[in-house]
């Protein structure tokens, strides 16, 4: 089932009199259940693309459809609702609230969604369990390791049952062993059906996804399935 369709997407930033073409004519179809790594050097447009897919930014031209819905036609409110309900974000820097416990951090999206407190707590606990963090429910972020904080952030991204999990350099701040554990968690989530779009500049990280899309100067220059990717890297 097709989940995400980008059709001839351009994003140009205007800085004074200069225009910076960050994404140029990107077309991409992603099915439900895929794990797609978007790879490219610094400045290639990865975050710009991710912000548009995550409905945080709009294309200068071209269309983005999520679940058959043309997101350009939606009001800001409707886009915010779609973002809250259908997209989970994971960032390099975890972005947890320092004065809230692990379980309170995970509950946050459900508060915005208007879920009742008791159900909220149940769902947050289930999400923490799914990332192996049941034992750390009442810890504050400062009492957690980087890898544990990222697991809590992943639980927060998953708690609303998003159609797409979007991750921007999710292992960028972690040592390689902890990073591998987080990537193993992503693989497990994907095996269980979670659609994942992961951004990275690191080929070893990208290799954890069955599909790798490569950006250069804002354009897609390669779109490979894992077998081809491995052969290519060898």
Ligand X SMILES: Nc1ncnc2c1ncn2[C@@H]1O[C@H](COP(=O)(O)OP(=O)(O)OP(=O)(O)O)[C@@H](O)[C@H]1O
- Contacting residue, 8, 19, 20, 225, with ligand X by CB under 6 A: 20
Query: 135 with 143: CB under 8 angstroms?
Result: no
Strands (E), the chain: 2-15, 18-31, 35-39, 61-66, 69-70, 87-91, 164-168, 195-200, 211-216, 219-225
Which range touches ligand X (CB under 6 A), out of 24-32, 45-53, 66-74, 151-159? 45-53
**Within 143-172, which residues bind ligand X (CB under 6 A)?**
none
Query: Does the protein bind ligand X through residue 46 (CB under 6 A)?
Result: yes
3 vs 22 by CB, closer to ligand X? 22
- Residue 28 phi/psi, 5-degree rounding, is -160, 140
Residue nearest to Mg ion (CB): 47
Please give the Cα distance from 45 to 53 (Å, whole number).
Answer: 12
Least CB distance to ligand X at residue 93 (A)? 12
Which range touches Mg ion (CB under 5 A), out of 15-23, 44-52, 96-104, 152-160? 44-52
Q: Which of 183, 202, 170, 203 is nearest to 92 (CA)?
A: 170
45 vs 147 by CB, closer to ligand X? 45
105 vs 171 by CB, closer to ligand X? 171
Name the token pair of 178.
């902890």
Please give the Cα distance from 203 to 230 (Å, whole number).
Answer: 10
Name the residues that contact ligand X, by CB under 6 A: 13, 15, 20, 22, 40, 42-48, 201
Name the residues that contact Mg ion, by CB under 5 A: 46-47
């Amino acid at each position: 089932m097709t989940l995400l369709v980008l059709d001839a997407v351009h994003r140009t930033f205007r800085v004074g009199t200069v225009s910076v073409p960050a994404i140029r004519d990107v077309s991409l179809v992603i099915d439900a259940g895929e794990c797609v790594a978007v790879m490219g050097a610094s400045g290639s447009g990865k975050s710009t693309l991710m912000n548009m897919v995550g409905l945080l930014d709009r294309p200068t031209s071209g269309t983005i459809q999520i679940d058959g819905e043309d997101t350009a036609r939606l009001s800001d409110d409707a886009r915010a609702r779609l973002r809250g309900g259908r997209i989970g974000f994971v960032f390099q820097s975890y972005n947890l609230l320092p004065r809230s416990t692990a379980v309170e951090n995970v509950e946050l999206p459900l508060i915005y969604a208007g879920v009742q407190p008791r159900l909220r707590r149940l769902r947050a606990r289930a999400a923490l369990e799914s990332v192996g963090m049941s034992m750390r429910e009442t810890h504050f972020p400062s009492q957690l390791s980087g890898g544990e904080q990222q697991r809590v952030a992943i639980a927060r991204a998953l708690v609303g049952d998003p159609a797409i999990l979007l991750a921007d350099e999710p292992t960028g701040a972690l040592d390689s062993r902890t990073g591998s554990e987080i990537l193993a968690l992503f693989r497990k989530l994907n095996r269980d059906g979670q659609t994942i779009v992961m951004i990275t500049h690191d080929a070893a990280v990208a290799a954890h996804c069955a599909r790798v899309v490569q950006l250069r100067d804002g354009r897609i220059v390669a779109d490979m399935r894992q077998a081809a990717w491995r052969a290519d890297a060898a």
